[in-house]
Amino acid sequence: MLNIKILGPGCANCRKLEAVAREAASAANVQAEFDKVSDMKQIMRYDLLSTPGLVINDKLVSSGRIPTVAEVQSWLTA
């Protein structure tokens, strides 16, 4: 099972990113556990320049933008 973290303060973009990631996981038939990380100390551990950030299995794959469902799917299945 993959661990997916949404990094950010909980803004509208963070919620949108979570929705995109959940949709991608569902479409790719990937079992995933989702965590929202809003604590700035934890977020800074990932060298994030701007939120929202997407972390898959402790690897930062996207920051400062909302990737497409297809992009997230390709990261989940890589």
Catalytic residue annotation: 11, 14
Give CA–CA dist 4/17, Å, rounded: 11
For residue 55, CA distances in Å to 8, 19, 27 come to: 11, 14, 18
Which tokens sit at 20? 């995109």
